[in-house]
Chains A and B, each alone.
Chain A
Amino acid sequence: MTTDGLTLAVSGLTLGLTRDRRARPLVEDLSFGVARGEMLAFVGESGSGKSLTAAAIFGLLPAGVQRIAGSIRVNGSELTTLSERRLRAWRGRDMGLIFQNPLTALSPSVGVQAQIAETYRVHKGGTRDAARARARALLAEVGLKALATGGDSYPHQLSGGMRQRVMIALAAACDPALIVADEPTTALDVLIQAQILDLLARLQRERGLAVVFITHDLRLAARYADRILVLYAGRAVEEGDAAQFFTAPRHPYSRALRDAIPTIPATGGRLTEIPGQPPEPRALPAGCRFAPRCPNVGDDCRRTEPAMTFDGTRFACLHPCAKMS
Chain B
Amino acid sequence: MTDDTTRAQPTMHPGGLFQRRRRWPATFGRVRADMGGGMLFLALVLFSWIGPLLYPHDPLAIHTHHILAAPRSRFPLGTDALGRNVLARLMRGGQATLAISLWASAIGLLAGLLYGMTAGLGPGWLDRALMRLLDTLLAIPSLVLMIFFASIVPLNETSLALLLGLVAWPGIARLTRNEALAARERDYVRAARQFGAGRLYIARVHILRAMLPLVIVNATFLMADMILGLSGLSFLGLGIQPPHASWGGLLNSGAGLAVIGSWWLIAFPGLAIFLAILAMNMLGQGLLARLEGELRE
* Residues of A bordering B, CB below 8 Å: 51-52, 55, 60, 62-63, 97, 99-101, 104-105, 108, 182
Contacts and interface: CB of A to CB of B under 8 A. Distances in A.
B141 interface: no
A51 B17 contact: yes
Contacts of A55: 17-18
Nearest to B16: A104
A99 B19 CA distance: 11
A240 B227 CA distance: 71
B204 interface: no
Contacts of A108: 2
Nearest to B13: A104
10 contacts: A51-B17, A55-B18, A60-B18, A62-B18, A99-B16, A99-B18, A104-B14, A104-B16, A108-B2, A182-B17
Contacts of B2: 104, 108
Contacts of B1: 105
Contacts of A63: 21
Interface string B186-208: 00000000000000000000000
Contacts of B19: 104
Interface string B1-45: 110000000000010111101000000000000000000000000
Nearest to A97: B18
**What interface size band does chain B fall in?**
under 10
Q: Which of B2, B16, B17, B19 has the most CB of A within 10 A?
A: B17
A154 to B, nearest CB: 15
Q: Which of A60, A99, A104, A182 has the most CB of B within 10 A?
A: A104
A142 B21 CA distance: 32
Contacts of B21: 62-63
Interface of B: 1-2, 14, 16-19, 21
Q: Which of B1, B16, B18, B21 has the most CB of A within 10 A?
A: B18
A99 B14 CA distance: 13
A55 B1 CA distance: 14
A44 to B, nearest CB: 14
Contacts of B18: 55, 60, 62, 97, 99, 104-105
Q: Which of A51, A62, A97, A99 has the most CB of B within 10 A?
A: A62
Nearest to A51: B17
A101 B16 contact: yes
B17 A52 contact: yes
A42 to B, nearest CB: 14
Contacts of B16: 99-101, 104
A44 B283 CA distance: 45
Contacts of A62: 17-18, 21
Q: Which of A52, A60, A97, A108 has the most CB of B within 10 A?
A: A60
A101 B21 CA distance: 17
A36 to B, nearest CB: 26
A99 B16 CA distance: 10
Given A51-B17, A182-B17, 14 more contacts: A55-B18, A60-B18, A62-B17, A62-B18, A62-B21, A63-B21, A97-B18, A99-B16, A100-B16, A101-B14, A104-B14, A104-B18, A105-B18, A108-B2
The 6 closest A-B pairs by CB, nearest first: A63-B21, A51-B17, A104-B16, A60-B18, A62-B17, A55-B17
A201 B194 CA distance: 45
Nearest to A109: B3
Contacts of A99: 16, 18
A51 B19 CA distance: 13
A100 B16 CA distance: 9
A145 to B, nearest CB: 29
Contacts of B17: 51-52, 55, 62, 182
A206 B147 CA distance: 74
A105 B2 CA distance: 7
B209 to A, nearest CB: 29
A293 B5 CA distance: 44
A27 to B, nearest CB: 13
A108 B19 CA distance: 15
A146 B21 CA distance: 36
Contacts of A101: 14, 16
Nearest to B2: A104
B141 to A, nearest CB: 32
A205 B2 CA distance: 32
A318 to B, nearest CB: 33
A148 B120 CA distance: 43
A91 to B, nearest CB: 11
A97 B18 CA distance: 10
Contacts of A105: 1, 18
Contacts of B14: 101, 104
A60 B17 CA distance: 9
A81 B148 CA distance: 70
A269 to B, nearest CB: 33
Nearest to A63: B21
A55 B20 CA distance: 12
A100 B1 CA distance: 14
A62 B21 CA distance: 8
Contacts of A52: 17
Contacts of A51: 17
